[in-house]
């Protein structure tokens, strides 16, 4: 079974999606299941995980509704205010919605870079395990150290780092990012999505070899049992599109065994997000 562990759907609104600026005009439109499904079929991907695109529970309802109408959407990573006093109540509500697999907060945009270590936020994180929810860590590379403190504090909580923590691929710098990512990878409750790479590179001029130093690091650090493929579609459209993004990783992983490739492209995501069948 092949699973795209990280993609988005949205009905484009310039206010809700204010992060999509003019340099990203290619994605300033609606992206819905009927747009993704042919790409999955073409690339022999059976299913996907839809990840929140803006931080509202309205977005959760939107994604849940899409999942009920499109069987290939096997899970939703939503959003709740983890710092809120009523966080347990909200998590309890979603526990009756099996398509909700976990939650994410856009930590990369927080002015307070260690926001994830505030008492209120950590209280929210502490509630996730009770409901068997995962947490996607969306950060920039300067926040990996704070994330290490977070995952250390909750050793039984399942975490996954989105987009390799966005290393500086365009500038081809590796040292600081590599040191930090290797440290957080030592925590066995942390996985990593091999996703979002092309948008961290030179959008128009990247070459496959630009990514090899970063892929080498995460494959050595996490191993093939804690990595999962994600397209970051449709965001990847600003830097080459779905086909180029998945081909990049398929070509890199030709050296792996068949079992290791199957783990990376589906089995690991199924286990992490508790997906029992395709």
At 5-26, the pLDDT tens digits run: 999 999 999 999 999 999 999 9
Q: Alpha-carbon distance 129 to 205, whole Å?
A: 42
**Binning pLDDT at 50, 70 and 90, where does residue 137 land?**
very high
Q: What percent of the chain has pLDDT over 70?
A: 99
Which tokens in the block code for residue 254? 């030709």
Instruction: Express each pLDDT in 17-57 by its tens digit.
Output: 999 999 999 999 999 999 999 999 999 999 999 999 999 99
Residue 84 has what DSSP assignment? S
* pTM of the shown model: 0.97
Instruction: Respond yes or no on whether the N-terminal peptide bond of residue 234 is cis (omega within 30° of 0).
Output: yes
- Please, which residues bridge with residue 136 across strands? 104, 160
Separation CA 116–CA 83 (nearest Å) = 10
pLDDT at res. 179: 98
Task: Tell me the average pLDDT across 89-117.
Answer: 98
- Asked which of 12-21, 144-153, 251-260 is least confident by mean pLDDT, the reply is 12-21
Q: Alpha carbon 116 to chain centroid distance? A: 17
> Average pLDDT in the 251-272 region?
98
Predicted local confidence at residue 278, as pLDDT: 55
Q: Residue 264, by phi and psi: left (phi above 0), alpha (psi -120 to 50) or beta? A: alpha
What is the model's pLDDT at position 277? 64
Report, as an integer, the average pLDDT of 256-264: 98
pLDDT at residue 276, as a whole number: 81
């Amino acid at each position: 079974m092949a699973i795209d562990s990280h993609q988005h759907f949205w009905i484009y609104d310039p206010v809700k999606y204010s992060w999509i600026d003019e340099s990203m005009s290619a994605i300033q439109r609606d992206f819905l299941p009927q747009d993704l499904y042919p790409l999955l079929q073409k690339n022999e991907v059976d299913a996907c995980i839809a990840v929140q695109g803006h931080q509202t529970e309205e977005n959760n309802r939107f994604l849940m509704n899409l999942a009920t109408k499109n069987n290939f959407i096997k899970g939703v990573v939503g959003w709740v205010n983890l710092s809120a006093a009523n966080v347990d109540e909200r998590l309890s509500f979603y526990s009756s919605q099996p398509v909700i697999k976990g939650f994410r907060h856009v930590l990369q945009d927080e002015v307070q870079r260690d926001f994830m270590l505030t008492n209120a936020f950590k209280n929210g994180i502490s509630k996730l395990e009770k409901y068997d929810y995962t947490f996607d860590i969306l950060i920039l590379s300067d926040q990996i150290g704070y994330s290490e403190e977070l995952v250390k504090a909750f050793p039984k909580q399942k975490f996954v780092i989105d987009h390799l923590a966005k290393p500086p691929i365009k500038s081809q710098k590796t040292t600081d990012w590599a040191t930090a990512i290797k440290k957080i990878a030592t925590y066995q409750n942390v996985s990593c999505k091999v996703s979002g790479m092309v948008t961290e590179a030179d959008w128009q001029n990247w070459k496959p070899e630009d990514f090899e130093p970063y892929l080498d690091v995460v494959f050595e650090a996490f191993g093939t049992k804690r990595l999962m493929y994600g397209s970051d579609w449709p965001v990847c459209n600003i830097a080459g599109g779905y086909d180029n993004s998945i081909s990049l990783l398929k070509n890199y992983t030709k050296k792996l065994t068949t079992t290791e490739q199957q783990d990376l492209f589906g089995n690991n995501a199924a286990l992490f997000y508790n997906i029992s069948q395709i």
